[in-house]
Amino acid sequence: MQVPGGQKLRTLRQNLGYTMRDVEKGSLQISRRLENNEFVIPPSRLFEIETNGVVPSIFRLYTLAVIYRSDYRELLSSYGVDLNNIASDLGSASPKYSHFCRSLGSATEACVPLGLDPRISVFKTANFARVIERWGVVPLEYLSTLAEGRYSYGYIGAEDFTMYPILPPGSFIQIDETKTRVTEGPWRSEFERPIYFVETRDGFVCSWCHIAGQSIFLQSHSLSPVPIRIFRHPQEAEVIGQVVGAAIRFGEWQVLSSEQEQGESAKTA
């Protein structure tokens, strides 16, 4: 059973031997240093927070985290705001434009498979959820040994059909930032041709690329309604890295209408 936020704050204060006046005195010092009275916690307000279920502001919660020597995230979670749930809620909105995905950096824990069915075969297609025998929550610090700093992550916007159907809108992509040099073919198929994540003045684009002289050509898939775009390189378009992995969504996008296609063409002309 989760302890209510106010009750938890009162317990923390009492365990440290603070009076409400002590908390006020500490909050005044914080507010002076930060030059913001929002950090001040008068005893009357602290009483309401501890006893009457009043939710502290983000400023006062910071003050309490400092004075009580507590983790700000932990205090947030006592009010039902768990930053580790961000990954589960990302699907609640579909951004229109492609972008870097930074919100996952707020998580400190991850739910990962701790036990797999020993009968699993890597040679056969399987329902991964059914071969996991046990899940568990571990601190992300434990996974840091598996991380490589060269990778970053992006999201294909709900209106970005540049690489459709290979990378439909709503896809999450892994980007290798060490691979910024655009390579030329030949390739045996479109799946062998490198896809790059490019930053332009208008935002991010995920596409095939071709460099000729001082120009970079952002080439869309042949089935995409998006035309080729040409920029000065690297002044107007910079290659962030090569796409080396993807998590793809199916059935949650809409094909651009003819009016949308015309508007897209006019926008890039």
The token pair that represents 118 in the structure block? 């020993």
Domain boundary among 30, 54, 77: 77
The token pair that represents 218 in the structure block? 């952002």
| 172 plus 263 within the same structural domain | yes
Residue 129 lies in a domain: no
Comparing 10-24, 108-122, 172-186, 255-269, which segment has the lowest mean pLDDT?
255-269
Residue 125 lies in a domain: no
193-202: pLDDT as tens digits? 999 999 998 8
| 155 plus 73 within the same structural domain | no
177-186: pLDDT as tens digits? 899 999 988 8
* Residue, of 94 and 163, whose pLDDT is higher: 163
Comparing 85-89, 137-141, 233-237, which segment has the lowest mean pLDDT?
137-141
Distance of CA 14 to the CA centre of its chain: 37
CB count in 10 Å sphere of residue 133: 12
The angle at the Cα of 126, spanning 125 to 132, to the nearest 5 degrees, equals: 150
* Average pLDDT over the chain, rounded to an integer: 82
Q: Tell me the average pLDDT across 9-26.
A: 95
- C-alpha 195/C-alpha 154 separation (Å) is 13
- Number of domains forming the structure of the chain: 2
| 179 plus 72 within the same structural domain | no
User: What CATH number does the domain containing 215 carry?
Assistant: 2.10.109.10
Residue 185 lies in a domain: yes
pLDDT value of residue 197:
93
Residue 114 lies in a domain: no
- What is the span of the domain harbouring residue 46? 5-77
The length of the chain, given as a count of residues: 269
What are 151's strand-pairing partners? 176
115-152: pLDDT as tens digits? 667 765 545 544 555 556 666 655 555 555 445 567 88
Question: Cα separations (Å) of 74 from 69, 80, 83, 104, 251?
Answer: 11, 10, 9, 17, 37
Domain boundary among 53, 77, 101: 77
Coil, helix or strand for 26? Answer: helix
Given a contact cutoff of 8 angstroms between Cβ atoms, the answer to whether 41 and 50 are in contact is no
Overall pTM > 0.75: no
pLDDT value of residue 210:
95
